[in-house]
Structure 1
């Protein structure tokens, strides 16, 4: 009886930590998260941001930043849905896009090259974190936790 108990305890002490790290590696667990947060602004939020002249961007300009373009297009699709999300977040550690409820929308859509400089490049190109695209206002911010 005692031998079985020792074997069971040893198995638990080995399998549980290995299983935990395996689970975390699959789900992209990281102590440090960084990414870009894109939000479709409502009328009240536009007033809150108090941007005097937001930059209007064209389709061609937006296509220079495909990750942000994907999130903006997803937001435009969700706009018509009353239960739809108003924001998306792309995680630079896992390169996945999540909605405001934490649901995975797109998995591994980005390449490693230049991902961390994406927000900086975007703000240098447009000099604002609030932009207008197809008549809709979007807030684009970097996020680190």
Structure 2
């Protein structure tokens, strides 16, 4: 039986920050340039959350992995988009995402995301919420 992993990665990074800018609304039809510091912060936040969601010593993560094993249709090619509000100290104070279709799985994911310390403080002027994509994929197995 495979184990599910949450992945955040470089291919997601660019559109994550742009999605946050679009949500903030600029009134312009042209896409604004995204500061490199915002992109870098989004990348480090994505990596930090992916690590949290891969921890097998956290019962909430174990329940999420079990849920995903039992509901493989929940895992798709499209990442789960999460909106994060981050305080000045770099801690997630609120998260929002589309339901996984199960109240316990949603509660577990929210509990793992909320109050998560991120690596460093948000760059000055970074718009919120920060939107990150969390991909769900089965782990690759190697022969023992």
Name the TM tier (shorter chain). under 0.3
TM-score (norm 2): 0.26
Q: Which protein has the bigger strand share?
A: 1
